[in-house]
Amino acid sequence: MGKKDEMKASNPFVHFFQENMGILVALAALCIFLEIMNQRFFTWSNWLTILDNVSKTGFLAIGIMLCIMLGGIDLIAGAGIACSGVLCIVCMERWHLPMVVAIIAGLLVGLIAGMLNGIIIAYSGIHPFVVTLAMQSILRGVAYLLANAQPVPLYVNEFFPRIGIDRVFGIPLPIIYLIILFFIQWLLLNKTKTGRYIYAVGGNETAARFSGINVEKIKILVWTFSGLLCAFAGVVLSAKLKSGQPSTSVGAETDAIASCVLGGTSMYGGTGRTSGMIIGVFIIGVISNGLTLMHLDVNWQYVVKGVIILVAVYSDMVRQRKSQARKE
């Protein structure tokens, strides 16, 4: 490799484009199409709306991507958002606890649920799909019980909503949270021993175990982190809505999973990158926004996202088969 090639390889921006050229072209083509269909698409205010709306999906996708990289899945996202958000508001509005205590309580719900998921998955042998599906039902039920099956509006605290609606230099706080969390995940996967272990366990669990990696510890850590991010999303959303909504975010995990798979995270485990997942999050957000601007029935979003997941998973399956054929 020549000096010029080495400089290109070491340039993070060049590396980013090289890794994600295909999905970036798809995103650009989608944006151009939506601009042709509606000239309001490329306005600054609309892009701020897109960024603000995708923040919840981004919070969830960061954790779910790690679960998928281990060859698993996490389905508690929407229920975790509802449960943590309702508990946070109930703590302040009905139990008259301080805001900081309420936020900690909301975050602890997700952390504990995620940790329980991780422990059961690591030691019982039950598939993550079943474990997290059961926890999804539990969390949604707890949310309804805490709220008495009704939205819980917030009146007693005027500062809490600012967590979800304030802006810094015109940028909504949820976007800033998302950027920080993206960076934390990138550091975890690329600059830490834990990140290398996640790739190793996802790639070949048996080999990882023989090499001395504590596989159970990695699984518990990943699902705990994912649960905590669900709770964080719930706290931020409850601040934006100024209420706890037990029925909110049904199917939120679908958007997060679609974002991960679109971004190149393999459902077979062992493969995933933060940069691709970020672009996947934006594609899902752009599709939702574009369909809204085109005044299409919101239910078409579910159809489109379902098709996207099928196509992305099939493409991943084809890639895996080709890779396996080359090895043989």
Q: Phi then psi for 201, rounded to 5 degrees? A: -65, -40
For the domain that residue 283 is a member of, what is the CATH number?
Answer: 1.10.3470
Least confident piece of the model among 1-5, 18-22, 55-59, 88-92: 1-5
Look at residue 284 and tell me if it is in a domain: yes
Write out the H or E segment, with its range, that includes residue 69: helix 44-69
pLDDT of residue 327: 64
Checking if the pLDDT of 208 tops 80, the result is yes
Q: Identify the CA nearest to 70 among candidates 139, 127, 145, 6.
A: 127
In a domain, 218, yes or no: yes
In a domain, 11, yes or no: no
Q: Which two tokens stand for residue 93?
A: 């509005």
| SS3 sequence of 90-150 | HHHHCCCCCHHHHHHHHHHHHHHHHHHHHHHHHHHCCCHHHHHHHHHHHHHHHHHHHHCCC
- DSSP letter assigned to residue 240: H
Distance CA 158, CA 155 (A): 7
Domain-embedded: residue 275: yes
Measured distance between the N- and C-terminal CA atoms of the chain, rounded to whole angstroms: 28
The label of the residue with tokens 């949820």 reads 174
Percent of residues, the chain, with pLDDT higher than 90: 69
Closest by CA position to 83, among listed 290, 233, 272: 233
pLDDT tens per residue across span 9-41: 457 677 777 778 888 888 898 899 899 988 889
The one-letter amino acid at 168: V
- Reported as a single tens digit per residue, the pLDDT across 134-163 is 999 999 999 999 999 999 999 999 999 999
Q: Are 272 and 259 in contact (CB under 8 A)?
A: no
How many distinct structural domains can be found in the chain? Answer: 1
Print the domain residue range for 291: 42-313
As a 3-state breakdown, the chain gives helix, strand, coil percent values, each rounded to 5, of: 75, 0, 20
| pLDDT tens by residue, 256-278 | 999 999 898 988 899 999 999 99
* Domain contains 23: no
Evaluate whether residue 2 is within a structural domain: no
